[in-house]
Amino acid sequence: MTLPKTMRAVEISKPGGPEVLQLIEAPVPVPGPGQILIEVAYAGVNRPDALQRAGAYAPPPSASPLPGLEASGRVAALGPDVAGWKVGDAVCALLPGGGYAEYVVTPAAHALPVPAGMELREAACLPETCYTVWSNVFQRGGLKAGEVFLVHGGSSGIGTTAIQIASALGARVFTTAGSAEKCRVCEELGAEHAVNYREADFVEAVRAAGGADLILDMVGGDYIPRNVKALADDGRLVQIAFLSGPKVELNFAQVMTRRLTITGSTLRPQSDLAKARIAEDLRAHVWPLIEAGRVRVVMDSEYPLAEAAEAHRRIESSGHIGKIVLKVS
């Protein structure tokens, strides 16, 4: 296929609020060794994009400075040494950056086929959340069937994905959310109990079930000591973000005497090989659940590429339930 020389893209003109996102013309990237070029149909919008826009989450030196960590579309070109993909294949992919654009490059090993029966709009919502949930809940956190799992922010993209995958694989899922409507959605997705954190104490609810074997938290701040209290003996806490701040006073005596594990990770700085291994696990363990209808995408809203600023305002309002996407083409 003949590729254009330039494309529409959204850049961060300077660190700041949503208004700094500007539509520009940019060169179409060229795939290098082991990379594919994707003609983007939809790009997922995620909180790390907003952090990058604000100047708090710099991309790796080799990554595109444009925002966007996941997208769906069709393979437009192959770089050298790429096997397993051909031009025209429908894909969704984890990106090092650059998703808010008509074309983007990414390692071929970080792309996955669009699940059978799924539209590209929904497929754009899969990579960032599925990679994050699988690597933290199952690889790092070691969640097993029958264990009690607490995920905070249950109505977020991460939360709705974690609830469904953990429930489908046999865990007892508890979650927190900020309204009765959000709690209802979480329970419909498979949560045994959703706690409205504005009205009730999640520690009490989880301890009543014997304590959590695993907690996935993106809130931080004063949630950290409360998470420790909510854990069962030998429980694990996995931290993936700090919406309420990274610093807190914590009595580590409980960690020692109850044999607790506190760990965490960020996805973007991990090696290409680590991300490729996550992709292999997703294809083997999660994609069959999606194709069987046991895990679905929860969509909140869609915006044109030129209205990326409005999409950022939506995600930062915390009023959304599920995923937000940009329609690129």
Instruction: List average pLDDT for each run of 10 residues in the chain, which is 329 residues long.
Output: 94 98 98 98 97 94 96 98 97 98 98 97 98 98 98 97 98 97 98 97 96 97 97 98 92 96 95 97 98 97 98 96 97
Short-list 161, 163, 169, CA closest to 127: 161
What is the Cα–Cα distance from 123 to 290, expressed in whole angstroms?
10
What are 108-163's pLDDT values in tens digits?
A: 999 999 999 999 999 999 999 999 999 999 999 999 999 999 999 999 999 999 99
Residues paired with 24 in a beta bridge: 9
Question: CA torsion sign, 279 to 103 to 270 to 260?
Answer: negative
E strands, 79-171, are 90-94, 103-107, 111-113, 148-151
Look at residue 121 in the predicted model and tell me its pLDDT. Answer: 98
- Cα separation, 85 vs 16, whole angstroms: 38
Quote the CA–CA distance of 44 and 126 in Å, as a whole number. Answer: 8
Pull the structure tokens for residue 25: 């013309």
Please report where in the chains the tokens 């590429």 appear, as a residue. Answer: 305
Contact, 148 vs 209, CB < 8 A?
Answer: yes
Predicted local confidence at residue 259, as pLDDT: 98
Residue position matching structure tokens 């991460």? 158
| pLDDT value for 102 | 98
pLDDT at 74: 98
Structure-block tokens of residue 201: 């104490």
**pLDDT tens digits along 258-280:** 999 999 999 999 999 999 999 99
Q: Reduce the DSSP state of residue 64 to 3 states and report it.
A: coil
Alpha carbons 239 and 220: distance in angstroms, whole number: 7
Residues 6+ apart with CB under 8 A from 249: 225
Which CA distances in Å does 213 have to 94, 113, 189, 247? Answer: 29, 33, 20, 23
Residue 176 has a pLDDT of 98
β-pair type (323-327, 299-304): parallel
